[in-house]
Amino acid sequence: MMQMVNHANLIRLAGISIGADGDYTFLVYEFAEKGSLDKWLYQKPPSSLPSSSSSADTLSWNQRLGIAFDVANGLLYMHEHTQPSMVHGDVRARNILLTADFRARISNFSVADAAATSSDVFAFGLLVLELLSGRTAMEARVGAEIGMLWRDIRAVLEAGDKRDAKLRKWMDPALGDEYYLDAALSLAGMARACTEEDAARRPKMADVVFSLSMLVQPSPVGDAFEKLWQPSSEENIRIVNEVAAR
């Protein structure tokens, strides 16, 4: 399968090494200098990995936004530009590898299949929530209660006039005031849409990629598009009409 796909955001298979007696095989992939995303989100990166960012222990807002965009692009390629359509099936931070300039590569295709793409969309939504909060999608709390980010974000976005304050408190404190609140609300709204319990209501990766492409470029169009993912007081988030958006 890895020989059939070719995309900048999928880890590249460089070759195969087979032992002289044929009793073992290594798959050789391109080297991702910054390691896996989970090392940067949940703990300080290993001291052996030099950081090109001003802070050695966290990802910047722009880096997180770029990683989300890269992963979405990779999934879009798998879902819509391979025959048959492929589903990764295990999208999580430890399977996202980062290059020297913090570009994301999706790795570990051991469970990839031709299943329903909505499972990848849900997992991508969880990944976005982890990028925003700096926490795992499921984490233990006081009294061994398990908190789920995809449920927490619903309470945050439905908090009415307290929404903005609740979101700032919910965000990764390592980001400080580095991000624009509207952009954070947009990403949170996108993640909420991706993690809808009804799979039929989740967006397609094409819609997600288009939205993220607006967010990664600082322009008036991007500022206006951000609000389309934000929940209104009257109805749940609606996915942007694909024809109108394009």
Task: Report the CATH number that the domain containing residue 141 is assigned in CATH.
Answer: 1.10.510.10
**Which of 66, 118, 58, 64 has the alpha carbon at shortest distance from 91?**
118
| pLDDT of 132 over the 70 cut | yes
pLDDT tens digits for range 59-105: 999 999 999 999 999 999 999 998 888 999 999 999 999 999 999 99
pLDDT tens digits for range 154-211: 999 999 999 999 999 999 999 999 999 999 999 999 999 999 999 999 999 999 999 9
pTM to 2 decimal places: 0.82
- Whether 219 is covered by a domain: the verdict is yes
Report whether 210 contacts 245 (CB < 8 A): yes
In 189-207, which positions are buried (b, 16+ CB within 10 angstroms) versus exposed (e)?
Answer: bbbbbbbbeeeeebbbbeb
| pLDDT of 108 over the 70 cut | yes
- Whether 217 is covered by a domain: the verdict is yes
- Whether 85 is covered by a domain: the verdict is yes
pLDDT tens digits for range 20-64: 887 888 888 999 999 999 999 986 555 544 444 444 578 999 999
Tell me how many domains the chain contains. 1
- Whether 20 is covered by a domain: the verdict is no
- Whether 24 is covered by a domain: the verdict is no
- Whether 137 is covered by a domain: the verdict is yes
- Residues with active-site annotation: 90
Q: Give the helix, strand, coil percentages of the chain, each rounded to 5.
A: 45, 10, 45
- Whether 118 is covered by a domain: the verdict is yes
Report whether 2 contacts 109 (CB < 8 A): yes
Quote the domain boundaries for residue 93.
32-245
